[in-house]
Amino acid sequence: MAPMLGQTEHDETAVQSKQIKQSPLPYQSADQATLQDLASKCLANYGTKLERDIIVRTEGLYVYTADGHRVLDWTSGQMSCLVGHGHPEVVEAVRQHAAHLDHLFSGMVSPPVINLAHRLTSVLPRGLDKAFFLSTGGESNEAAIKMAKVYTGKFEIVGLGASWHGMTASALGAQYHFGRKGQGPVMPGMHMLPPPNAYRSIFRNADGSYDWEKELDYGWSLIDRASCGSLAACIVECIQSSAGMHVLPAGYLQALKKHCEKREMLLIVDEAQTGIGRCGDLFAIDHDGVVPDLLTLSKTLGNGLPLSAVVTSNEIERVCTERDFCFYTTHVNDPLPAAVGDKVLEIVIRDDLVEHSRRVGKSLHQGLNRLKDRYGCIGDVRGRGLMAGVEIVGDRNTKEPALELGKDIATAMYDRGLWANLSSHSSFGGVFRIAPPITITEEQILEGLQIMEEAFAATAGSKPLY
């Protein structure tokens, strides 16, 4: 890879990072009850129940509450802090650019944006040649869908059941999980494929194994009947995180690509959570050997800062430019978040964190499967690398969800110092979603697994098997 514009040596940056003064934030000594009371008076609901504790500090893999409780963060914030909270090199990138190159007129370009685009496209397969940068995953998916419509001249979009792509109009229209109700019609021309849920799907081979090919073909047969003949794109996650950490079966993405090509549609892959090394590959598409027409990134790319990306081919970019494609926002290609994204990519590649994710991910999954062997309430363990789902059921034979039991276990885990998000909404099925920063150590994997063991053992109804 050619040298980056304005790139400094790693050693020099590391020295500068160590010189950053860590001064306490003014509210780190605030009383939790006072903060909770104030929050209840002035914070509006945005669609989720707020956790009981107020978080006043983050550091590395831990979050700290106003009451002084230290909690191991096994969800990387909102599945985003890929290299941990407060990584010194990320902090230094923010400091430098907040002081000297933060935000520009949207038609201006800066070295951090060029650097990030160059570094990103250099490590992606050919056919993902050009990128631009936005703020959120919903925004990047919205832009990708719009680009697909402009390129194809068509408007129908296919999504997968149980998917999550964002809160903006087209992204929400392709999202078959939650958030669709109470607001009238979604965008027209939206279609759904069956969710590829190997644990619960009714499509089975004679031996009881999951017949995803028959399910996928059946889904497309329904879409062909429902379509008005204007199929533009299909959007998909390689691991459906919000659905409960369901991994696409081997061969699924290749088959999906062929279905799209047959119908002259584009394939959009949303790697909000799987991108940049979390699953043991730099990108999940590398694992599947598929090059989509459009790739979207968010969450992990910005390490918790608002940053997302749309990446596509030279040809799609050329045609869309000719057809006046526009996705002009206040924060498109902003330099500060781009500098952070460039630093995150640099750290992941330089420190071989992809291999680290693959290696410690094996320890994680081995530990979770040992828990499954020990407790009958665990119906399924799934995932890849440092993404894992642990599904809690009342009965392994009927696979009946046990949401209240899951909540009790989650509380026991949190009280003992581990945060692993429990998807408690009925559409999630009661699944612990685990996605720690990929800088996690073997010792921290064992620490979390030990807390989980203690929580399961202490919770009535966990069904110990021995």
Which tens digits make up the pLDDT trace of 205-260?
999 999 999 999 999 999 999 999 999 999 999 999 989 999 999 999 999 999 99
Average pLDDT estimate for 303-316: 98
Same domain, 358 and 324: no
Residue 14 — pLDDT band, cuts 50, 70, 90? very low
Of the listed 74, 164, 212, 220, which one is catalytic?
164
* Chain centroid to CA 225: 32
Q: Please check the confidence at residue 425 and state whether its pLDDT lies above 70.
A: no
Same domain, 309 and 172: yes
- Per-residue pLDDT tens over the stretch 39-49: 899 999 888 88
CATH number of residue 212's parent domain:
3.40.640.10
Residue 4's pLDDT is what? 55
Q: Is residue 282 part of a domain?
A: yes
Residue 23's pLDDT is what? 58
Mean pLDDT of the chain: 92
Q: Is residue 257 part of a domain?
A: yes
- Per-residue pLDDT tens over the stretch 130-174: 999 999 999 999 999 999 999 999 999 999 999 999 888 888 888
What's the number of domains the chain is made of? 2
Residue 263's pLDDT is what? 98
Rounded CA-CA distance 173/138 in Å is 11
Instruction: Provide the percentage of residues in the chain whose pLDDT is more than 90.
Output: 82
Q: Is residue 358 part of a domain?
A: yes
Residue 182's pLDDT is what? 86
Q: Which of 334, 350, 366 is the C-terminal boundary of a domain?
A: 350
Residue 277's pLDDT is what? 97
Of the listed 92, 139, 156, 270, which one is catalytic?
270
Residue 88's pLDDT is what? 97
- Per-residue pLDDT tens over the stretch 53-94: 999 999 999 999 999 999 999 999 999 999 999 999 999 999
Neighbours of 329 (CB within 10 A): 12
Q: Please check the confidence at residue 3 and state whether its pLDDT lies above 90.
A: no
433 is catalytic: yes
346 is catalytic: no
Same domain, 192 and 203: yes
Q: Is residue 8 part of a domain?
A: no
Of the listed 211, 433, 444, 463, which one is catalytic?
433
Query: Pick from 45, 77, 40, 78: which is nearest to 61 by CA?
Result: 77
Structural domain of 211:
93-350
Same domain, 366 and 345: no
Residue 22 — pLDDT band, cuts 50, 70, 90? low
Instruction: Provide the percentage of residues in the chain whose pLDDT is more than 70.
Output: 92
Q: Backbone phi, then psi, for 154, in 5-degree steps?
A: -120, 175
Q: Please check the confidence at residue 21 and state whether its pLDDT lies above 80.
A: no
- Per-residue pLDDT tens over the stretch 109-137: 999 999 999 999 999 999 999 999 999 99
Average pLDDT estimate for 399-405: 93
21 is catalytic: no
Q: Is residue 22 part of a domain?
A: no
Residue 428's pLDDT is what? 63
419 is catalytic: no
Residue 49's pLDDT is what? 82
Same domain, 66 and 180: no
299 is catalytic: yes
Query: Pick from 368, 393, 360: which is nearest to 462 by CA?
Result: 393
Q: Is residue 20 part of a domain?
A: no
Query: Pick from 185, 196, 188: which is nearest to 160 by CA?
Result: 196
Q: Please check the confidence at residue 27 and state whether its pLDDT lies above 80.
A: no
Q: Is residue 466 part of a domain?
A: no
Same domain, 337 and 363: no
Burial class (CB in 10 A: 0-12, 13-18, 19+), 51: exposed
- 3-class state of residue 256 by DSSP: helix
Rounded CA-CA distance 436/86 in Å is 14
Rounded CA-CA distance 439/360 in Å is 10
Q: Please check the confidence at residue 364 and state whether its pLDDT lies above 80.
A: yes
Q: Which of 350, 385, 419 is the C-terminal boundary of a domain?
A: 350
Same domain, 53 and 135: no
Of the listed 273, 288, 346, 384, which one is catalytic?
273
Query: Pick from 177, 264, 259: which is nearest to 216 by CA?
Result: 259
CATH number of residue 360's parent domain:
3.90.1150.10
| C-alpha separations of 125 from 122, 143, 188, 311 in Å | 8, 21, 33, 11
Residue 30's pLDDT is what? 72
Neighbours of 181 (CB within 10 A): 7
Residue 388 — pLDDT band, cuts 50, 70, 90? very high
Q: Which of 350, 384, 404 is the C-terminal boundary of a domain?
A: 350
Residue 15 — pLDDT band, cuts 50, 70, 90? very low
Q: Please check the confidence at residue 299 and state whether its pLDDT lies above 90.
A: yes
Same domain, 382 and 418: yes
Same domain, 346 and 361: no
Same domain, 317 and 218: yes
Predicted TM-score of the model (pTM) = 0.93
Residue 13 — pLDDT band, cuts 50, 70, 90? very low
Same domain, 99 and 175: yes
Residue 178 — pLDDT band, cuts 50, 70, 90? confident
237 is catalytic: yes
DSSP string, 139-161: HHHHHHHHHHHHHHS--EEEEEB
Q: Please check the confidence at residue 272 and state whether its pLDDT lies above 50.
A: yes
Same domain, 274 and 408: no
- Provide CB contacts within 8 A for 51, sequence distance 6+: none
Q: Is residue 40 part of a domain?
A: no
Of the listed 215, 237, 342, 380, which one is catalytic?
237
Residue 430's pLDDT is what? 87
